[in-house]
Structure 1
Amino acid sequence: MKRRTVLAGFGTALLTSGCLGQTQSKNTPTGDGPQPADTPSRTPEPSPTTPDDPATEQPSDDFRTIDCPSFRDADVTVCAQTDNYPIMLQPTSTTYQVVQGNSTIETLDLTLSNTSDHSFGFNPHDWRLDRYSGDGWTKVAPEGVAEPWTNVAPNGQYEYELTTQQHPSPANGPHQIDVDLTSDVYALSIVGNWDTGRNGKRIECIALINVVVMSKESWPTPTPTPDP
């Protein structure tokens, strides 16, 4: 999780550009891609293990009683907390702390990685955020979806940034997801087509995130160090 100081008086900016990793070529528009259904579907299928993939962070205790959900029409559902697959959406941390009324903006970065030898095409604006409660999952955002299509080349990446407040960012910075959040478990998902030839698959990638919203008063204040 990262913190950014709020600059007094900066204007609201519409920041929807994505950031591709250095191993990835520039976004290649290929026309409008097929849009998946937004209704929850079946239980996710188990995914094969790939020893060459980078290790993922250990599951948080907050998720041990929560099965990885599935919200899209896909051949395979991949959950960052439990699976190891060539196409993964991975957060830098499973916990996102938000301090209300503070002079900084807390953000959480997520990386969509393609460690395979084949291209992965998806609509970066077609992310979906759901909130978990005892009654199940409820969609939080977005209400509408634009339709640009992006290819993540083999060994490429696409960067997202979850935030509760828009802030200035480089044009080639991460794709900002700006939403109001409460202290709950959330699932961020994307879906796309893994182009492996005749055996190509539609892949749904999910990252579970434990959001902790705190007031400025409850945030611990650093103890000043006395001068020697």
Structure 2
Amino acid sequence: MRRRRYLASVAGLAAAGGCLGPLSAAMPGDGDGGPALPADCPSFAADAATVCVGDDAAATFARSDATVDAGGSFTATLTNRDADAVGLNPYAWTVYRRDGDGWTQVAPDAFVEPWQTLAGGESRTWHVRVGDANATSASDDDVHVGPLDLDRGEHAFVVLAAVDGDRTEFVAPFAVT
């Protein structure tokens, strides 16, 4: 039953052209012409379903903050709510920067390759540091990213995973102010 429900949600994602639902309310800039979050959820892997922050799916993605300053941080959390299994390499994350009408990968250059599985109800959290942000306390299972040298503007933190064996990208757009 869970697999059918997940496949139905993936079919809905494909029909909608990417993400379903609002992007956690695409937020305006900071009032001084600062960057805004992308109006649409970007997609980077043509051969994968896309789950964006706020989408209702068998596995979900959440972020603590939509904007971060050059010395700040945020967390992104992938949670297996209802899938039989979510397999992932927690170090296979990517950060993209919006450049005009396209996106450019800005980090990382390479990553290690351990494979982990999240059972139902389990989560994995990434602590993303920008600029000179201090490391935050985290559990042993959390992944520390950065500090990243990111320019002001729109970005996306992306994690690829296998949800019930199907390739899925989890996207958390954010803005650096």
Q: Counterpart of 1:184? A: 153
> What is the distance in 2 between the residues matched to 1:76 and 1:59?
21
- 5+ residue gaps, structure 2, are 1-12, 29-35
Q: Which has the larger radius of gyration?
A: 1
- Counterpart in 2 of 1:21? none
Query: Within 5 Å, which residues of 2 pair with 1:148-187?
Result: 148-164=114-130, 165=132, 167=135, 169=137, 172=140, 174-178=142-146, 179-187=148-156
1:115 is aligned to 81
What is the aligned-residue identity percentage? 26
Superimposed CA distance per residue, residues 3-25 of structure 1 (whole angstroms, 9 cap, x where no aligned partner): xxxxxxxxxxxxxxxxxxxxxxx
| 1:76 equivalent in structure 2 | 49
Q: Which amino acid aligns with 1:158?
A: R
Larger helix percent: 2
Q: Show structure 1 runs of 5+ residues with no match.
A: 1-43, 50-54, 100-105, 213-228
Aligned partners of 1:192 and 1:131: how far apart in 2? 21
Please identify which structure carries the higher strand content: 2
Runs of 4+ more than 4 Å apart:
168-171
Amino acid at match of 1:121: G
Structure 1 residues 138 and 78, CA gap change in structure 2 (3 angstroms): same
* Equivalent position of 1:130 in the other structure: 96
Q: How does 1:60-99 map to 2 (within 5 A)?
A: 60-61=27-28, 62-63=36-37, 65=39, 67-80=40-53, 83-99=55-71
Paired position in structure 2 for 1:9: none
CA distance in 1 between partners of 2:38 and 2:139 (Å): 38
For residue 88 of structure 1, report the CA deviation from its aligned partner: 2.2
